[in-house]
Amino acid sequence: MSSETSTTLVPTRLGRLAVRTVGDGPTAVLWHSMFVDSRSFDRVSADLGRERRLVLVDGPGWGASDPLERRTTMAQCALAAEDLLDALAERGVVDPGPVDWVGNAWGGHVGYRLAGTRPARLRTLVAASAPTFPLPESRRRTLGLLSHVVERTGPRGPLRSAVVSAQLTDATREHDPAAVGVVNACLDDARPRSVAETLRSFVVGRSDLGSELRRSPVPVLLLAGDDRGDLTPEQARESAADCADARVVVVPGARTLLPLERPGEFSAAVLQFWERHPPRPR
């Protein structure tokens, strides 16, 4: 495989997904968190790309991918990820066979679903800031109502501030304007209808994914920031304890977007995990 960086659109059941490929070697798929796109991985792509052929995905409705204009499910999202892998292998963009999956929040949830239903697709799974349990009912109701506001106005004003605050720590927002700029750029490019439908489909409508993770034989690394209320380090350790092969790394000074806020610590943890679970010779 060539190490040249390229971008392509790949048809899936949830529309065309935009992907960038970076680096060389065995394939690793990087899928971002809600409210951002694949640019949130740019600070780690150079380090990870020295060991893997990275496929940086813009999830359905985000970045350069097609708009998402209907409500769907996490199950359909995971099937779209399979569509993506099949198409890229057929085109010769990546090698066929299992991949290393690296997901931040939403991307981790897609990884849980794949690990539980199609474990042969994954060589390893890294899930950062990705709770296995659904949102509490009160938050589901609140976000459901907010989705209708977003659909009318887009992520602007106080809503924009709330989103940025949920993604980044106070210290990052004060001292790292470039990180704030990445989140704002992703939100500037977001289409209101797509934001609303992805929020309803993959956050409000998210079911319990713990059973998917528990039955999977795939080696798992759970990364937890020390400043995210809905996934504490203790909750991550509880999830790992029920897995066949899982470990937890706590990243200090991070909330949701670990690869953006703490790229050095994120890359080091992922590379160490990959070193412990090297690809088998083909």
Counting the structural domains of the chain, the total is 1
- Whether 281 is covered by a domain: the verdict is no
Q: What is the pTM of this model?
A: 0.96
**Cβ neighbours, 10 Å, residue 67:** 17
At residue 276, what is the residue type? R
Q: Is the separation of the CB atoms in 39 and 20 below 8 Å?
A: no
In a domain, 240, yes or no: yes
- The string of pLDDT tens digits covering residues 19-68 is 999 999 999 999 999 999 999 999 999 999 999 999 999 999 999 999 99
Question: Does a structural domain hold residue 66?
Answer: yes
Is residue 167 a part of any domain in this protein? no
Residue 59 forms part of a structural domain: yes
Instruction: Tell me the C-alpha distance between 146 and 150, whole Å.
Output: 6
* pLDDT > 90? residue 7: no
Residue 201 forms part of a structural domain: no
The pLDDT mean for the chain works out to 94
CATH number of the structural domain spanning residue 233: 3.40.50.1820
Q: What percent of the chain has pLDDT over 90?
A: 90
pLDDT given for residue 203 in this prediction: 95
Question: Is-contact 71 200, C-beta < 8 A?
Answer: yes
Strands 27-31 and 53-57: parallel
Question: Is residue 190 included in any domain, yes or no?
Answer: no
Per-residue pLDDT reduced to its tens digit, 98-155? 999 999 999 999 999 999 999 999 999 999 999 999 888 988 999 999 999 999 999 9
82 is a domain residue: yes
Does the structure show a pLDDT above 60 at 2? no
**Residue whose token pair is 């794949």:** 114
- Quick one: three-class SS letters along the chain? CCCCCEEEEECCCCCCEEEEEECCCCEEEEECCCCCCHHHHHHHHHHHHCCCEEEEECCCCCCCCCCCCCCCCHHHHHHHHHHHHHHHHHHCCCCCCCEEEEEECHHHHHHHHHHHHCHHHEEEEEEECCCCCCCCHHHHHHHHHHHHHHHHHCCCHHHHHHHHHHHCCHHHHHHCHHHHHHHHHHHHHCCHHHHHHHHHHHHHCCCCCHHHHHCCCCCEEEEEECCCCCCCHHHHHHHHHCCCCEEEEEECCCCCCHHHHCHHHHHHHHHHHHHHCCCCCC
> What are 163-191's pLDDT values in tens digits?
999 999 999 999 999 999 999 999 999 99
pLDDT band at 205 (very low <50, low <70, confident <90, very high): very high
Q: Classify residue 159 as exposed, middle or buried by CB count within 10 Å of its CB (0-12, 13-18, 19+).
A: middle
Residue numbers of the domain that contains 79 = 6-133+207-276
Which backbone phi and psi does 49 adopt, to 5 degrees? -70, -10
- Dihedral, 26, 36, 189, 138 alpha carbons, nearest 10: 140
